[in-house]
């Protein structure tokens, strides 16, 4: 990518806030209702496993939906598919409130995921349309910050809504949130992919675009490295209730506010990252950040059994704080490599991120042994794997300075 495809249509801060909110659809739709599983099972006369299926189906919809949107937005533009996806998200969220049984709940969660993932895919593609790759890294850092706050803030907000208004009000909140985002896109976000830059191939040729991207080292190396680091957050989300509440004795409110502490670290790291990206290439920043994460994860494992919660949280918060920065720089590099098919590239990035997130979440549960080591060990494993992929995958990556 050379220069912007066209001038940025509105101030960058407002643009990334709107796009970041769209990208946060998924964490809000998952993490807000986790504490309401027992209430949902009771009200819908469902088994706990059936309620758990509503989460699994949602993750499946996120992956499948992104693969659908990628070729569509490269062929038909960004704006209409985005508005259609948001509308589906809002409608299905509203219908969840009225569903009388768990089977309807599961089906609607699938539709909600397919609608919600439009914001994730298309927000990255819009940034790829508007910015050259170094500026895109800075814009993505802001977007990843807003998106990354979702898993941190959603459990806090969901817990309070559940306590005072019940689980159905959580989904009314998602309806309102989606409706506000729909209005923002309708009024403020123009089409960013001109007709002359759209792909005209048939479905078969567009599928081959996915295959081409997957074998490109300058695309797959940063995508895998970034996805593995983002998966650390999901290892924390899966393992932290046991580690922090059972082993360290926090109550629900204390646990929620400790999640919020990570938001402070992410904000600070994103601000520092934007400054660094003005002076260094995304590859240089990513390399240093990966090394920092690996070192902090090693310290975290060494301190896993400490009785001091503060001593445990210090390396953990610092490690997780680098998630938005690493996600932004790795995504910018991968999107630069896939600049001829930005939508398809964005879709593959999203599928890999959530694919690793799902695997890591399951792994933490499978390794559960009554100690902090499944959570901390998986975090370290993700850091090791990310560094191995990035540093051993070769230096021919997109955006190399």
Ordered per-residue pLDDT tens for the chain, 401 residues: 333 445 556 777 788 788 888 888 887 888 788 778 778 888 888 887 677 778 778 878 887 888 888 778 878 888 899 999 999 999 999 999 988 898 999 899 999 999 998 888 888 888 877 877 667 777 777 776 666 667 667 777 887 888 888 889 999 999 999 999 999 999 888 888 888 777 666 656 667 777 788 888 889 999 999 999 988 988 887 788 788 878 888 876 677 677 767 777 777 787 787 788 788 888 889 999 999 999 999 999 999 989 999 999 999 999 998 988 898 888 888 888 777 777 778 788 888 887 888 788 778 877 888 889 999 999 999 999 999 999 987 555 444 44
For residue 19, give the nearest of 118, 100, 159, 167 by alpha carbon. 118
Task: Tell me if 162 sits within 8 A of 150, measured CB to CB.
Answer: no
d(CA 330, CA 71): 21
pTM of the model: 0.74
How high is the pLDDT of residue 62? 82
The burial class, CB within 10 Å (0-12 / 13-18 / 19+), for 107 is middle
How high is the pLDDT of residue 394? 56
Task: Tell me if 382 sits within 8 A of 228, measured CB to CB.
Answer: yes
Sign of the torsion angle spanned by Cα atoms 128, 132, 133, 138 = negative
Task: Tell me if 377 sits within 8 A of 301, measured CB to CB.
Answer: yes
Q: How many angstroms from the chain centroid is the CA of residue 46?
A: 29
How high is the pLDDT of residue 354? 79
The burial class, CB within 10 Å (0-12 / 13-18 / 19+), for 172 is middle
Query: CA 134 → CA 14, 220, 307, distances in Å?
Result: 19, 19, 43
How high is the pLDDT of residue 67? 80
DSSP state of 339: G
Task: Tell me if 118 sits within 8 A of 81, measured CB to CB.
Answer: yes
Q: Where are the beta strands (DSSP E) in 227-318?
A: none
How high is the pLDDT of residue 399? 42
Task: Tell me if 344 sits within 8 A of 71, measured CB to CB.
Answer: yes
Q: Which two tokens stand for residue 315?
A: 């390396």
d(CA 308, CA 302): 13
How high is the pLDDT of residue 204? 64
d(CA 318, CA 358): 23
How high is the pLDDT of residue 267? 74
Q: Classify 41 as helix, strand or coil.
A: helix
How high is the pLDDT of residue 299? 96
For residue 332, give the nearest of 264, 301, 385, 286 by alpha carbon. 286
DSSP state of 195: G
């Amino acid at each position: 990518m050379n220069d912007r495809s066209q001038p940025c249509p509105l101030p960058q801060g407002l643009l990334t806030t709107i796009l970041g909110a769209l990208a946060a659809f998924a964490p809000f739709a998952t993490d807000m209702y986790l504490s309401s599983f027992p209430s949902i099972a009771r009200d819908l006369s469902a088994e706990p496993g059936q309620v758990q299926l509503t989460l699994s189906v949602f993750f499946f919809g996120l992956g499948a939906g992104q693969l659908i949107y990628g070729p569509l937005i490269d062929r038909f533009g960004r704006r209409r598919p985005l508005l259609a996806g948001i509308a589906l998200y809002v409608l299905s969220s509203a219908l969840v409130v009225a569903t009388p049984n768990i089977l309807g709940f599961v089906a609607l969660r699938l539709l909600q995921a397919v609608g919600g993932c439009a914001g994730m895919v298309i927000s990255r593609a819009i940034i790829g349309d508007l910015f050259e790759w170094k500026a895109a890294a800075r814009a993505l850092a802001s977007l990843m910050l807003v998106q990354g706050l979702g898993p941190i803030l959603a459990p806090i907000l969901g817990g309070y809504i559940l306590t005072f208004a019940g689980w159905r009000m959580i989904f009314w909140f998602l309806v309102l949130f989606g409706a506000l985002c729909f209005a923002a896109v309708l009024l403020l976000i123009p089409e960013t992919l001109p007709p002359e830059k759209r792909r005209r191939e048939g479905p078969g040729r567009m599928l081959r675009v996915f295959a081409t991207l997957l074998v490109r080292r300058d695309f797959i190396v940063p995508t895998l490295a970034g996805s593995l680091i983002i998966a650390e957050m999901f290892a924390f989300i899966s393992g932290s209730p046991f580690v922090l509440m059972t082993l360290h004795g926090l109550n629900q409110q204390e646990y929620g506010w400790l999640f919020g502490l990570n938001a402070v670290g992410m904000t600070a790291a994103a601000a520092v990252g934007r400054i660094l990206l003005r002076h260094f290439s995304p590859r240089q920043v990513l390399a240093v950040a990966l090394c920092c994460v690996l070192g902090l994860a090693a310290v975290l494992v060494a301190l896993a059994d400490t009785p001091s919660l503060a001593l445990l949280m210090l390396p953990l918060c610092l490690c997780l704080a680098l998630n938005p920065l690493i996600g932004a720089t790795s995504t910018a590099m991968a999107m630069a490599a896939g600049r001829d098919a930005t939508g398809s590239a964005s879709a593959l990035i999203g599928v890999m991120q959530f694919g690793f997130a799902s695997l890591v979440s399951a792994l933490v549960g499978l390794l559960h042994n009554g100690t902090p080591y499944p959570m901390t060990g998986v975090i370290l494993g993700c850091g090791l794997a990310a560094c191995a992929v990035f540093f051993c995958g070769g230096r021919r990556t997109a955006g190399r300075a």
